[in-house]
Amino acid sequence: MITLLPEKKGTFLRASLCDVCNFSCEYCAKDMGMENHTPKCIEAGLLSAEEYGRNLERIAARGFEIISFTGGEPLLCKDFALIAQTARQLFKVVEITTNGSKLPEHMETIRKYVDVLKISVDAVDDDLRVKITRRPEARDTLHIVEACCKAGIAQIGLNFVYMKQNEDELPKLIEFVKRLNKEYNGNIYISVLDLYYSKENDTFWREQFVNLKKLRQSLAKRGIAVHRRLRVGCDSYYCIWDGVRVNMKDSMSCTHRSEICSDCMGYCQEGIYSLKHSASGWLSVCPSNDAKLGALLRDDDAESTIDRFVEILNNITRVPDTGSVFMEKNGLCNMPHMKKPRVKECLVLRNEIKKRARQYCEEHGFLEFDTPVLTKYAGEPYNPTFPVLLEEETVRLVDSPQVYKMLLMLSGYDRYYQFAHCFRPIVHEDAPETHLREFMQLDIEMKVDSLDELMDSARELLQHVCKDAAVELVPYLPLTTGKKGVNGKIMPEHHIFAKPADLRTGRERTISEPEDLLTVKTESFDILLNGIEVGGGDMRIMDVSMQESMMELFGVEKEVYRGYLQELGRYQGRPFGGFAIGLERLIMAMTGVSDIRETIAFDTWQ
């Protein structure tokens, strides 16, 4: 009889009690044996409680100390109580992982025979949890978790599969657990798991996978210490987050492998970490349920079969950087940016947004213009230009069409729009997930009598483009940021053309001293969609003396704007204002994507 080596005692038995599940989670990799299915080509019925117990005895005799019941959904097994009772007598630690839906009817059995109850909770938001599990019963999961606390179940863990769609749910789950631990004097912990890959869920994985290194880095920035947790299997880490223990599995750094892994064409994400036993008695150490990689336990050769797999487990070794090998072997490394499913979704939406916006503008009398992006003007710190060498002459890219569109208003045009290419410098603290060097904005300028009229137009356009999205406009922003700029001067919040407002009289406020800059508000507004800032706008200064004063107070050379100031001085027409909406940020707000690069077709800075 071959037994587990002492250093492999952390290896556990992953025992499936049922080959079906009453939930159908988006991420479940059924084709990789995540439900511990016996291969379809093997004819084998479900084991009786007696047969299952006999197999557990044989495996426990090899030195396995931990059994973790899984499924499908293990609580669908009609013999759960009998098998759990047998396991209690054979193993030091009995665990069960469940979706929680059947817990109320098995609470007493859990209390008597199970040491650790693990419940899958992938979102605090009820609607998102139902979406992920594809079952309405998931609405009750949080109530069931609390019922387990009330029932006095000592050790509860919540499994959270970390994905792009539920990243924001983890802090909410921390708060939920913190409340339960306080109210019931409990010790609930959270296990964060990375999304598991299989060929069946290839598209979903590409769209939703998040490397947990990103989470660890985020925690470190917040001052939360992250520690390595030694265990057999994938690398693991833990932290204490607001009083709650959070374990984090990381299958993309280091995993444990066997010699059988080196030639495997379907090189898996998690490697080898347990002995797996299906509801029909199929035994394997591989996450896959490939018929060549396992064997059915039969009474006539059960001992030798178990010995074979224990020997494999005794010889697994920790292999660094297996994530890169896994990515390469599964064709995940060099996927062109624009072929990614989430990028495709965003690009289709991008086209639809431009179509709807153009339709609105054409129906409301706007003329589409194209303004230059090259200039010889050197720019200002708050309104930068970017040098480009062109035929041995240095010209510059204009950051936005701000001056051009105002000149159009001064020249007799009433309504302008443009899908403008804009540019911005990327500074050190800017994250690549939220900032682009080159971006597009829907640029609007129009003659209106008041800020309210301008805001109404912005709201109406957005509601046409975004249908049911929540649009919020925040008016009367400060003239300045209150921060010092790179040239030692105070910087404007929007730009030097925003009209200062006297909120008492509604007139244009006079500014004569630098100190006035810190107290003045402007007739301006920010545009928020679903709580995310996507743009902003303001009424423009109509008085040339006021405009010159503003330039002087901000240290701007008036000579640079001589043409604009001359036209403004001659202008006798209706006031005007404008706004701009960042197309990429708009897509982020509408889709919930967390990486702005997914909203563009060519990620040229990767």
Query: 250, exposed or middle or buried, with CB in 10 Å at 0-12, 13-18, 19+?
Result: buried
The contacts of residue 218 (CB under 8 Å, 6+ apart) are none
Residues 141, 99 contacting (CB under 8 angstroms): yes
Average pLDDT on 413-423 reads: 95
Q: Is the dihedral of CA 555, 561, 562, 566 positive or negative?
A: negative
Residues 339, 347 contacting (CB under 8 angstroms): no
pLDDT at residue number 398? 81
All domains of the chain in start order, with CATH: 6-329 (3.20.20.70), 337-599 (3.30.930.10)
Lowest mean pLDDT among 55-69, 315-329, 400-414: 315-329
Residues 191, 118 contacting (CB under 8 angstroms): yes
Q: What are the tens digits of pLDDT across the range 44-54?
A: 889 999 999 99
pLDDT at residue number 283? 92
Q: Is the dihedral of CA 121, 126, 131, 134 positive or negative?
A: positive
Q: What are the tens digits of pLDDT across the range 493-523?
A: 778 899 988 654 445 556 656 556 667 888 9
Mean pLDDT of the chain, nearest integer: 87
CA 439 – CA 274 distance, rounded (Å): 49
pLDDT at residue number 486? 44
* Residue 35 pLDDT greater than 70, yes or no: no
* Residue 541 pLDDT greater than 80, yes or no: yes
Positions of E strands within 353-494: 367-368, 374-375, 379-380, 383-390, 393-398, 415-423, 438-447, 471-475, 480-484, 490-492
Lowest mean pLDDT among 146-150, 187-191, 345-349: 345-349
Cis peptide before 72, with omega less than 30 degrees from 0? yes
* Residue 117 pLDDT greater than 80, yes or no: yes
For 298, other C-beta atoms within 10 Å of its C-beta total 10
pTM: 0.62
For 147, other C-beta atoms within 10 Å of its C-beta total 15
Query: 337, exposed or middle or buried, with CB in 10 Å at 0-12, 13-18, 19+?
Result: middle
Q: How confident is the model at residue 68 (pLDDT cuts 50, 70, 90)?
A: very high
CA 42 – CA 39 distance, rounded (Å): 6
* Residue 263 pLDDT greater than 80, yes or no: no
User: What tokens does 89 get?
Assistant: 């007598």
Residue 263 or residue 419, greater confidence: 419
Q: How confident is the model at residue 290 (pLDDT cuts 50, 70, 90)?
A: confident
* Residue 260 pLDDT greater than 90, yes or no: no
User: What tokens does 564 get?
Assistant: 């604009």
Q: What are the tens digits of pLDDT across the range 457-494?
A: 999 999 999 987 888 999 888 777 655 444 765 667 77
pLDDT at residue number 502? 67
Percent of the chain with pLDDT over 90: 57
Q: What are the tens digits of pLDDT across the range 206-240?
A: 889 999 999 999 999 899 999 998 777 888 999 99
Percent of the chain with pLDDT over 70: 88
Q: What are the tens digits of pLDDT across the range 152-201?
A: 998 999 999 999 999 999 999 999 999 999 999 999 999 999 999 888 88
Rg (CA), the chain: 31
Average pLDDT on 109-115 reads: 96
Q: Which of 84-93, 280-289, 369-378, 590-599 has the highest mean pLDDT?
A: 84-93
CA neighbours closer than 13 Å in the CB half-sphere of residue 82: 11
pLDDT at residue number 487? 75
Residue 533 or residue 383, greater confidence: 533
Q: What are the tens digits of pLDDT across the range 558-606?
A: 888 899 999 999 999 999 999 999 999 999 999 888 788 889 988 766 5
Residues 527, 538 contacting (CB under 8 angstroms): no
CA 480 – CA 48 distance, rounded (Å): 75
pLDDT at residue number 405? 95
Q: Which residue has the tokens 């079906």?
A: 20
User: What tokens does 235 get?
Assistant: 């690398």
Query: Which H or E element spans position 334?
Result: none
CA 174 – CA 241 distance, rounded (Å): 8
Phi, psi (deg, nearest 5) at residue 564: -65, -45
99: left (phi over 0), alpha (psi -120 to 50) or beta: alpha
pLDDT at residue number 321? 80
Residues 119, 98 contacting (CB under 8 angstroms): yes
